[in-house]
C-alpha cells in the first residue's frame, strides 16, 4: 500500500471560459504532472447554464502545491480556491 494520500484542490470559477483558461495555465505555472479536471457545478435548483459555476480540480498527491498561489490564480479570473 502506498503512503501517498490523495489530496486535491478545487478552484471555483464563474464560467467555462475562465475555467478553461485556468486549466490551461495550471500545468505551466505549477508544473503539474496530471491535467486538471473541469467540472460544471450547477447551482441548486437552477437549470440555466448561465447559473453554473465551473470547478477546476487539481490532484496534489504530494501536497506540494501552495494553496495561496492557487487562490491567487483563481482570483485573477474572479474565482477562488475552495476551502478543504
- The domain ranges of the chain are 18-81
Answer positive or negative: Cα dihedral of 44, 52, 25, 81. Answer: negative
For cell 476551502, name the residue: 83
Condensed to tens digits (0 to 9), the pLDDT of residues 68-84 reads 999 999 999 999 999 87
Question: Which grid coordinates are listed for 34?
Answer: 496530471
What is the pTM for the complete model shown?
0.83
pLDDT digits (tens, 9 = 90+) for 4-62: 456 899 999 999 999 999 999 999 999 998 899 999 987 655 555 556 899 999 999 88
Distance CA 20, CA 52 (A): 14
3-state helix, strand, coil in the chain (%, to 5): 35, 25, 40
Amino acid at each position: 500500500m502506498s503512503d501517498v494520500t490523495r489530496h486535491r484542490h478545487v478552484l471555483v470559477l464563474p464560467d467555462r471560459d475562465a475555467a478553461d483558461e485556468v486549466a490551461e495555465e495550471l500545468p505551466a505555472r505549477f508544473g503539474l504532472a496530471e491535467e486538471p479536471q473541469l467540472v460544471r457545478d450547477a447551482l441548486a435548483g437552477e437549470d440555466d447554464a448561465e447559473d453554473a459555476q465551473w470547478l477546476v480540480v487539481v490532484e496534489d498527491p504530494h501536497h506540494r502545491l501552495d494553496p495561496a498561489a492557487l487562490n491567487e490564480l483563481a482570483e485573477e479570473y474572479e474565482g477562488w480556491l475552495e476551502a478543504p
